[in-house]
Every structure is written in C-alpha cells, then in structure tokens.
Amino acid sequence: MTDFRTDGAAALDWAARYLERVDELPVLAQVKPGELTARLPQSPPEQAEPFADVLRDLDELLVPALTNWQHPRFFAYFAVTASEPGILAELLAATLNQVAILWRASPASTELELRVVDWVRQLLGLPEGWHGHIEDTASTSTLAALIAARHVTGRNVVVCSEHAHSSVEKDARMLGMELRKAPADEELRLRVPDDLSDVAAVVATVGTTSFASVDPVRELAEAAHAAGAWLHVDAAYAGPSWICEEERWSQDGVELADSLVVNPHKWLLVPMDCSLLWTARPDEFREAFSLTPEYLRTADDAYALADYGPALGRRFRSLKLWAVLRCYGAEGLRAILREHVRLAELFASWVEESPDWELVAPQRFSLVVFRRNGSDEHNERLLERVNASGEIFISHTRLGGRYVLRLAIGNARTTEADVRRAWEVLNR
Ligand code: PLP
C-alpha cells in the first residue's frame, strides 16, 4: 500500500538522485537478454507490498538493466531529453488522469492541447490556420496522415525515399497500401518521381533517420499536388530545429504540405511520448476519422480531438509540452538546440581533420555520420567495443552498403567535455 505523501517524496528524491548521478552509470545496459527476467518473480504478489519495496527493486533489479537515455553521453539513434518540467508535468497528468475522448470529457485537455500545439506552430514559423493535435509517436502521426490521404484521394499507393523512416513502410503495410520506395540522389534526397498519377501520398522527410538529409519538399509538394496526391512531411527529428531561424532553410516548401509531423519527444525536451501532427486540411482529416457512437453524442459541444487520429481515449500530453515551453521559454530552448548543433559541428570538424576518420555524409542538424578508415568489420567491432565500455553509446547505419557510425547529440545535459570524451573513447 502507499502513503502518497511519504512515498511521493521518496519517489521524487529517487528521481532527483537518478538525474544527478546518471552520468556515472553505463550508458548502454550491461546485461544479457533474459538476465532481468530471471530475477523477476514469475507470479504477482498475493499480499500488498509497500511502495518502498518497489523503489528498492528499481535500484536493485531495474537500474542495471537500463539503457540510460538521460545520460549526457547517449549519442545513439536520436538522443533525447526528458527535462525536469516535463517529468513533473507527467506526474500531474497521471494524477489528473484525464481521458479526453471528447470536449466534455476534458475541456482542459482539449483546449490546452489546441493552444499549446498552436504555440509550437508559431515558434516553428509554420502557416497560420493549420490544425494541430498530439499523437503518441511519429509512427501513429504518419499512420493518421496516410489514412486521411487515402480517404481524400481514393488511391492506395505511398511514395517515399529509400532513406525514409521504417515507420512509413510499417504504416503502409498496416493499411494494406502499396509502398514505392524511390531512389535518392547523391545528397541523399528523394528524387522527384516522374509519375504520381496513382499515388495517394508522397512522404517527404526533413532530417532522415540515418543521415539527417532533407528531401526537396517544395518540388515534391508541387509534383504531388499536380498529380492529385497528398504531401505528408516527416520532420519528426529535425522539425524542432525550426525554432532557430538559421535552421529554417530546411523548411522550404513545408508550407505546401497537407500534413506534417514533428516530435517534441525527440528534440524539444519533452518526455516520451509527444508527437505533433498538423494538417492544412482539417475538414478532410475529420471526415476520414469521425465516427461518433451514440453514447458519445452530446448536445453541448461534440468537438473531439479523437476525430483527427486513431485513438479515442487520449492522455493529457499537452500538460508536459505546456510546462516545458513555459519553463524554458523559446529563448532557453533555442540556446540548447544551438549548443547541440555547435557540438555536432565541432565533432564533425575533428573527424574531417583526422587522417584516420572520414565524414561520410554532409553534417546536418545535430547528427554526425562517419567511419574509421578500414573495413566494415573493423568499424563494427569498434562500435561494439566503445558501447561495451559503457562510457558512450553510439549507433550505426549503412550507406551504399558500407557500415557507418552515427553520433547524434540531443541530450540537454551533454557538454563539450562529453563530446570530447566520445572522441577520445573512439580513438582509444
Ligand atoms: N521519422 C523519423 C525521421 C525518425 O527518425 C523516427 C524515429 O527515430 C520516426 C519517424 C519514428 O518516430 P516514433 O518513435 O515517434 O514513431
């Protein structure tokens, strides 16, 4: 059983201590598959246990099996930050437990969501009048966009770059849509396909997962619209960078999109999960999704954000976004993202200056794609060894069949010293 105040204080203290010492923990979990399972009881407890036991087991059982995404030397995939205001807001959101199935079920959650998503629209310099709401992940946001595109066009084909995120393929597969992966040019940008006449949606990526390359959104939007297709933009990772004017070069043509996804849980300090989906065509979106059973028909106001995506019950995700935007301010967020970009540029400059390393893709945003001179096997072993050290965690991809390394900066606690340490570990 729980004493909410006492256990709550202990949980908050646990959280504070974790964040204070996270940089002393290994970044990548140093356990083997199944090791935790073997230590967990096979059956649930019959008798109530104190919450203190949960905290004890968090330390003893779970912490050793954590890959520490809050670690300042987490450089794999896309590094993220759950900032303190966001963490506290998650506690409050769980406390309030709003289930925003329609306006009357949570006027606060519905109206705050619309307002804060519009705040982000303004901060990113996106067109006025777009309708935005929050989904859990970019995978779901893109799924929703493809559903709207299919509904509007009556067509069943999705086109994206060979470098688009796997969620586009998975979404198309779930919808029974045909996916056409189009080749990219030497700058890793989707080549505009010649014939889009049977295409429901073209998905353009700003900031591809492997290389942070940027598709030619304007040309793709023009070609898609000329052929009667929908243009969806996946800026899940790079979109937050548009709070900085100097990164808006990558926004060219986005104003022509029919829908756009940007993930504050990737690069805007909001804890998992928070994915923003805007559309320039809200009526058509609603037509694709709106389905109101009798028990939800109300006289006052039937407005429901559930009419814009798959889920009916919706979490109070806007609370954490609101808290982060207010507690950092646009200025504070810009300063952190600019520092990440500076650190990525610095790392890329070391790679370029060294005869032992090669920059394999143009450096964009806060990602560096590189490799050590030598064979694929050599680079693969190198990655395994540096990650096993627990000092840093990086990931890999392939470019033209070659095994290449990725260093992604995105944690608010990452300093220049951490990036230097990564370079030292890699060279060691
Ligand atoms: N799109 C891009 C460009 C990504 O990099 C990712 C994940 O890294 C996704 C989509 C999928 O994001 P989510 O985990 O929110 O579904």
Please state the φ and ψ torsions of residue 419, each to the nearest 5 degrees: -70, -40
141 lines ligand 1 (CB under 6 A): no
137 lines ligand 1 (CB under 6 A): yes
Predicted TM-score (pTM) of the model is 0.96
Q: What is the pLDDT of residue 295?
A: 72
Q: How far is CA 374 from CA 380, 382, 424, 428, in A?
A: 10, 11, 18, 16
Mutate to test the pocket of ligand 1, among 263, 268, 276 (most ligand atoms within 8 A of CB): 263
Q: What is the pLDDT of residue 299?
A: 66
For ligand 1, the distance from its centroid to the CA atom of residue 337, given in whole angstroms, is 18
SS3 label, residue 8: helix
How are beta strands 402-408 and 367-372 bridged, if at all? antiparallel
236 lines ligand 1 (CB under 6 A): yes
pLDDT digits (tens, 9 = 90+) for 235-269: 999 999 999 999 999 999 999 999 999 999 999 99
Beta bridge partners, 233, equal 204, 260
Q: What is the DSSP string of 219-253?
A: HHHHHHHHTT-EEEEE-TTTGGGGGSGGGGGGGTT
∠ at Cα 152 (148, 176), nearest 5°? 60
Residue given tokens 């559309």 in the structure block: 279
Mutate to test the pocket of ligand 1, among 77, 78, 80, 167 (most ligand atoms within 8 A of CB): 167
211 lines ligand 1 (CB under 6 A): no
Q: Nearest-CA neighbor of 149 among 228, 236, 251?
A: 228
Beta bridge partners, 398, equal 403
Q: What is the pLDDT of residue 70?
A: 98
Ranges of residues in the chain whose predicted pLDDT is under 50: none
pLDDT digits (tens, 9 = 90+) for 146-198: 999 999 999 999 999 999 999 999 999 999 999 999 999 999 999 999 999 99
102 lines ligand 1 (CB under 6 A): no
For ligand 1, the distance from its centroid to the CA atom of residue 41, given in whole angstroms, is 34
161 lines ligand 1 (CB under 6 A): no
How far apart CA 417 and CA 323 sit, in angstroms, is: 29
Mutate to test the pocket of ligand 1, among 189, 234, 272, 367 (most ligand atoms within 8 A of CB): 234
Residue 205 alpha carbon, nearest atom of ligand 1:
3
Q: What is the pLDDT of residue 415?
A: 98
Mean pLDDT of all residues in the chain? 96
8 Å CB contact between 143 and 169: no
Q: What is the pLDDT of residue 300?
A: 63
How are beta strands 402-408 and 230-234 bridged, if at all? unpaired
241 lines ligand 1 (CB under 6 A): no
167 lines ligand 1 (CB under 6 A): yes
Residue 77 alpha carbon, nearest atom of ligand 1:
8
Q: What is the pLDDT of residue 1?
A: 66
Residue ID of nearest Cα to ligand 1 atom 5: 209
411 lines ligand 1 (CB under 6 A): no
Mutate to test the pocket of ligand 1, among 69, 77, 143, 237 (most ligand atoms within 8 A of CB): 237
205 lines ligand 1 (CB under 6 A): yes
For ligand 1, the distance from its centroid to the CA atom of residue 267, given in whole angstroms, is 11
Residue ID of nearest Cα to ligand 1 atom 4: 209
| 402-411 core/surface letters (b: 16 or more CB in 10 A; e: else) | ebbbbbbbbb
Residue ID of nearest Cα to ligand 1 atom 12: 138
234 lines ligand 1 (CB under 6 A): yes
How far apart CA 44 and CA 346 sit, in angstroms, is: 51
pLDDT digits (tens, 9 = 90+) for 259-308: 999 999 999 999 999 999 999 999 999 999 887 767 767 766 678 899 99
For ligand 1, the distance from its centroid to the CA atom of residue 167, given in whole angstroms, is 7
For ligand 1, the distance from its centroid to the CA atom of residue 276, given in whole angstroms, is 12
**All structural domains of the chain:** 4-68 (1.20.1340.10), 88-324 (3.40.640.10)
Beta bridge partners, 369, equal 406
Mutate to test the pocket of ligand 1, among 266, 268, 369 (most ligand atoms within 8 A of CB): 266
For ligand 1, the distance from its centroid to the CA atom of residue 43, given in whole angstroms, is 35
For ligand 1, the distance from its centroid to the CA atom of residue 382, given in whole angstroms, is 26
Q: What is the pLDDT of residue 20?
A: 97
8 Å CB contact between 193 and 171: no
Q: What is the pLDDT of residue 208?
A: 97
Q: What is the pLDDT of residue 291?
A: 78
Residue 209 alpha carbon, nearest atom of ligand 1:
5
